[in-house]
């Protein structure tokens, strides 16, 4: 991802691993997980108009929706491992402590996009299946 150094990327991967452990604990607490997902959806909606997110927007909203529908028991056609991966991305996305602070215009979100893009690629098949399921629900 342009704008991130190799050092930034290495640090982000380390932070992602820490977020994964936090997600594994979080998923044991349904209410905390629901609240975290809802908060991430709200933050994403606030960022919807920022063009920097447009390359991942469709997948990002589907991924957050899938996590929400999974935790509410509406959609269970994905593994707990995928949900934990998504939650780890959400944890980083919501963290006030970023590699590049969000308050820096435009580039402040590069680290979030990098992390979320990695998660999206990890759960690509699940996202695609969820989109098909979601479309069938309408």
**pLDDT tens digits, 12-49:** 788 888 889 999 999 999 999 999 999 999 988 888 77
Tell me how far apart the 2 most distant CA atoms of the chain are, in Å.
44
pLDDT band at 51 (very low <50, low <70, confident <90, very high): confident
Q: Is the pLDDT of residue 1 over 60?
A: no
Query: CA dist 33 to 23, 44, 45, 71, Å?
Result: 9, 16, 18, 7
Lowest mean pLDDT among 45-49, 77-81, 102-106: 102-106
> Cα(15)–Cα(91) distance, rounded to whole angstroms?
10
Question: What pLDDT shows up at residue 96?
Answer: 77
pLDDT average, residue stretch 52-57: 85
pLDDT band at 10 (very low <50, low <70, confident <90, very high): confident
| Helix, coil or strand: residue 99 | coil
**What is the torsional sign of CA 63, 67, 68, 73?**
positive
Question: What pLDDT shows up at residue 112?
Answer: 87
Q: Is the pLDDT of residue 105 over 70?
A: no
Query: CA dist 53 to 27, 57, 98, Å?
Result: 26, 6, 17
Q: Are 131 and 120 in contact (CB under 8 A)?
A: no
Q: Are 47 and 70 in contact (CB under 8 A)?
A: no
Tokens found for residue 89: 């991305």
């Amino acid at each position: 991802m342009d704008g991130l150094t190799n050092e930034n990327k290495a640090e982000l991967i380390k932070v992602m691993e820490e977020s994964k452990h936090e997600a594994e604990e979080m998923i044991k607490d349904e209410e905390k997980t629901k609240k975290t997902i809802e908060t991430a959806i709200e933050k994403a909606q606030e960022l919807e108009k920022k063009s920097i997110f447009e390359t991942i927007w469709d997948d990002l909203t589907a991924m957050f929706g899938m996590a929400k529908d999974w935790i509410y028991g509406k959609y269970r056609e994905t593994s707990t491992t995928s949900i934990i991966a998504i939650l780890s991305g959400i944890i980083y996305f919501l963290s006030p402590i970023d590699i590049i602070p969000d308050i820096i215009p435009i580039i402040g979100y590069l680290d979030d996009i990098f992390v979320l893009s990695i998660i999206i690629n990890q759960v690509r098949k699940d996202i695609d299946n969820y989109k098909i399921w979601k479309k069938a629900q309408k």
